[in-house]
Amino acid sequence: MKNKDIIQRNFSRCARVYDRYSTVQDKTARELIAHLNGSQFADILDIGCGTGNYTALLRERFPQSRITALDVSPEMLQVAAKKLGDTIDFIAADGETFRMPHTFDLITSNACFQWFENLDTALDSYAASLHANGVILFSAFGPTTYKQLAACLGQVSSSTFLDADRIAETMTRTFENVRVREHVFTQEYESLRQLLNTIKYTGTRGLGTNGRSIGRQQLAQMEETYRRKFGEIIATYQVFFCSARKRGSK
């Protein structure tokens, strides 16, 4: 099974419970929307919209705009559609490879691009799908995310996540006025099980554990190690907030 197939399956499996565990994604969504204060856009594309929480913020911020929301998981879109109704144009597709139906003033995404296999190609496609003077804005998790869990598992880092320099370099090839801003924060959990469930039910099954199955005894040992090393069950989240304008815009 391809990695993308696994991601789609995991997000679809967790669609009905996603909102119970999406505290961090909701936090990044609120911070991301704040970057748009003072801006106006007529036609917006939300890539990897999931259950529609960030999409809802976009609709609230831009009530007169046409908003298209795209996600790889039809089950996620069903949840989003129940929240937002027919005010949003929903498309079930892979945001990395989908040929956009028209052009947009704003292409935006919350905590999705770290799943892409080729960010360079995706950004080239998005630039072609932006109007003149169009803007791209997205958030993505960085490699120190879950560093405490990685340390307990003997891993160096979460290699799935994107590096800030790599993001900036990739964006600069296609866009101008590139900005990559970092925000690092920690989230506390009652137990290691709660942390792992949060990882699992936000669709990222295996992330941070490299897909390793953890038994009850191993989980207890890991939690003891975790608390000894860090004093509590906390997780670091490194988030990059990235923005740019279509190259050649006036």
Give me the pLDDT at residue 4, please.
74
Give me the pLDDT at residue 247, please.
85
- 90 within domain boundaries: yes
- 152 within domain boundaries: no
For 82, what's the count of Cα atoms within 13 Å in the CB-facing half-sphere?
9
Q: 51 exposed, middle or buried (CB, 10 Å; 0-12, 13-18, 19+)?
A: buried
- 58 within domain boundaries: yes
Domain carrying residue 129: 3-143+161-184+238-246
- 31 within domain boundaries: yes
- 112 within domain boundaries: yes
Give me the pLDDT at residue 10, please.
84
- 209 within domain boundaries: no
Of 69, 133, 129, nearest to 103 (Cα)? 129
Of 179, 41, 60, 166, nearest to 114 (Cα)? 166
Q: Name the domain count of the chain.
A: 1
- 151 within domain boundaries: no
CATH number of the domain at 97, please: 3.40.50.150
- 190 within domain boundaries: no
Give me the pLDDT at residue 117, please.
87
* pLDDT tens digit at each of 250 positions of the chain: 447 777 888 888 899 999 999 999 999 999 999 999 888 999 999 999 999 999 999 999 999 999 999 999 999 999 999 999 989 999 999 999 998 889 999 999 999 998 888 999 999 999 999 999 899 999 999 999 999 998 988 765 555 688 999 999 999 999 999 999 999 999 999 999 999 999 988 865 444 455 556 678 888 999 999 999 999 999 999 999 999 999 875 5
| Rounded distance between C-alpha atoms, residue 189 and residue 179, angstroms | 32
SS3 per-residue string spanning the chain:
CCHHHHHHHHHHHHCCCHHHHCHHHHHHHHHHHHCCCCCCCCEEEEECCCCCHHHHHHHHHCCCCEEEEEECCHHHHHHHHHHHHHHCEEEECCCCCCCCCCCEEEEEEECCHHHCCCHHHHHHHHHHCEEEEEEEEEEEECCCCCHHHHHHCCCCCCCCCCCHHHHHHHHHHHEEEEEEEEEEEEEEECCHHHHHHHHHHHHHCCCCCCCCCCCHHHHHHHHHHHHHHHCCEEEEEEEEEEEEEECCCC
